[in-house]
Structure 1
């Protein structure tokens, strides 16, 4: 216990810290139960660190540490998500929370606890990055495809509607935009993934080259050139080549990566990526035309379309924010502004074209 008697305001703040630290420790343990191996060990170590922080505030509070309040709403949400889901999204939210530690601006908080929280943010960032890398590329294609469909087709529909043409024409235009955009997205995704796969394949060692290792001339040692071509220095290439040839001479089995390997990641299936892009764009592009499908017209149809699109834009914006480890609320509002901004521009252009025609 500190020699100076804490003020009521300090006691209130410290009790909040104690509640949050205990809740965060529980959240890390809940996440650890859904994992195994190294990730589980890391999460349990973070939980132990949060327990140490809680013990510090118990020591500072003394008797006032009894019956602490509930954690703040953000910490309670993180705990709920950790118990129910334990996904990469939860880690991303925890990363964001650890980055914005309240200890940085509190003179009562010791530097070592503030520093711990900063390091925790980086640890969680690393764990979240693992999750993002494991996350299916099809999922990312779906999120971005839906977003593209929303923005492009709502802009098209609102722009055409502003010209004053009948609702049936607006619907036909929206369906045309859906099909053309979805096909374009699918074709672009297919070509992109296919080209990336071919480039990655070109970087892998040729299996037939391994068969020539046993017949290499030890004196001239062409294997050294292979290692140098892959970025090793001359001395490093010589050492590794000699080591490999020594293994061959001793009749030892040469491992599959004896020629060295290029760190590459699979680009995934081109057909699968194209299919997901087509379907995702179609879903996003269909939302703006739903009011016209059900026979709505004029301002009512436009407002309904904008509401549906606005909700969806915020959802996709928040999702992409979580995927990138950024605050989801900011990304949701940014996505909404971009979508409505595009619709506003095409609406004004539609009005101008309507006046001219």
Structure 2
């Protein structure tokens, strides 16, 4: 994989650069060197094609650094310090998973200043745009692997945060004592977590039962010896699974022992669904009698229930923490809102980080939604104020 060379690779400034140019070029040089080191570090940790691609991106960033070093000339001996962003990326690259770093790098590449800087070549600006797409593609697999569990974690934690904060604010606004608010918050935590766990258990168990109902059985092996060869309905099974008539007849002949091979590459299937049907059929009748691929992807019902319970509870406990430490009344509500706000900013920032969007904007969005629900419930509580001592 190659990248375009800068048309300014042999260019040296004809006039003495200004102090502002020197500062800016030194900043660019430091950032390019830092990014080259980050990409190379990720390449060393990766393997196969991904490692090679990251290495090539590191080489391209090194070429960009040479462009600024050449422009700086004698002033290049004192490069500036890398930006806080580049330093943070290097720290994350060394201590955290690749998918988080790639998500941040994708955003950094999309915000390259080279398009507006006349001292940067057009090829360098084009390189940065290409780098963004490269990193987006490399991050796709990691995002896909995280999407299911990450969605469950964010959904569960945010549900606990917002629902329990709204609950205690609504009850607190009615004028009841702090002890009643705390007990209500604990009850909300347990009820919500148990409801989430039970719902996830039923959801996963039901989905597995639906998959089991659609999975081929071993009936073709059990009844094949008794089939009427002149009225062979075995082919109908394979045609129902998506095979062509010719492929179904060949598969039936295999089951009846007329062929020693287990496939005929000359036979084509109508679509990917048919090929998957044959794969499941082979898996069921020869390898794993349960056909466990779907079950592995789905996970266990007890595991999903436990995860949902824990995620919800971890969020729901935050708004009632002030009551555990002796606070009450309006102060407890304010501290609870503050703690929940921090948690919402964090979870929203994580969503933005992995999606390649602005972590701050995603965090503020989560904060606005959570606070909106809580304030609305508080106002309803005030409307039904009971003034209970």
Q: Is the 8 A contact 1:197 1:266 kept in 2?
A: no
Alpha-carbon distance between aligned partners in 2 of 1:243 and 1:45, rounded to the nearest angstrom: 47
Name structure 2 gaps, 5 residues minimum. 1-10, 265-274, 282-292
Q: Secondary structure at the match of 1:354?
A: coil
**Aligned residue pair count:** 352
Task: Kindly indicate whether residue 341 of structure 2 is the aligned counterpart of residue 310 of structure 1.
Answer: yes
Correspondence 1:254-273 to 2 at 5 A: 254=263, 259-260=278-279, 266-273=297-304
Q: 1:271: Cα distance to partner?
A: 1.6
Task: Kindly indicate whether residue 119 of structure 2 is the aligned counterpart of residue 108 of structure 1.
Answer: yes
Residue aligning to 1:34: 45
Judged with a 3 Å threshold, the aligned counterparts in structure 2 of structure 1 residues 322 and 149 are, in CA distance, closer, same or farther, namely same
Q: Is the 8 A contact 2:241 2:277 kept in 1?
A: no
Please report the TM-score for the alignment, with normalisation by the length of structure 1: 0.83
Q: Is the 8 A contact 1:89 1:322 kept in 2?
A: yes
For the pair shown, the structure with the greater C-alpha radius of gyration is: 2
Instruction: Map Cα deviations across residues 39-81 of structure 1 (whole Å, 9 max, x no partner).
Output: 2222212211211222233333333333211111111111111
Q: Secondary structure at the match of 2:376?
A: helix
Please report the TM-score for the alignment, with normalisation by the length of structure 2: 0.77
Q: Is the 8 A contact 2:23 2:80 kept in 1?
A: no
Alpha-carbon distance between aligned partners in 1 of 2:280 and 2:333, rounded to the nearest angstrom: 56
Task: Kindly indicate whether residue 331 of structure 2 is the aligned counterpart of residue 321 of structure 1.
Answer: no
Q: Is the 8 A contact 1:91 1:128 kept in 2?
A: yes
Q: Is the 8 A contact 2:322 2:335 kept in 1?
A: yes
Q: Is the 8 A contact 1:138 1:276 kept in 2?
A: no
Q: 1:169: Cα distance to partner?
A: 1.5
The one of 260, 283, 286 equivalent to 2:317 is 286
Residue aligning to 1:353: 384
Q: Is the 8 A contact 1:34 1:86 kept in 2?
A: no
Alpha-carbon distance between aligned partners in 1 of 2:24 and 2:253, rounded to the nearest angstrom: 67
Task: Kindly indicate whether residue 198 of structure 2 is the aligned counterpart of residue 187 of structure 1.
Answer: yes
Residue aligning to 2:63: 52
Alpha-carbon distance between aligned partners in 1 of 2:239 and 2:17, rounded to the nearest angstrom: 68
Alpha-carbon distance between aligned partners in 2 of 1:241 and 1:140, rounded to the nearest angstrom: 44
Q: Is the 8 A contact 2:43 2:52 kept in 1?
A: yes
Q: Is the 8 A contact 1:244 1:258 kept in 2?
A: no
Correspondence 1:49-198 to 2 at 5 A: 49-135=60-146, 137-138=148-149, 140-198=151-209
Judged with a 3 Å threshold, the aligned counterparts in structure 2 of structure 1 residues 6 and 244 are, in CA distance, closer, same or farther, namely farther
Instruction: Map Cα deviations across residues 77-134 of structure 1 (whole Å, 9 max, x no partner).
Output: 1111112224321221111111222123223322222222222222222222212233
Judged with a 3 Å threshold, the aligned counterparts in structure 2 of structure 1 residues 244 and 62 are, in CA distance, closer, same or farther, namely farther
Name structure 1 gaps, 5 residues minimum. none
Q: Is the 8 A contact 1:137 1:268 kept in 2?
A: no
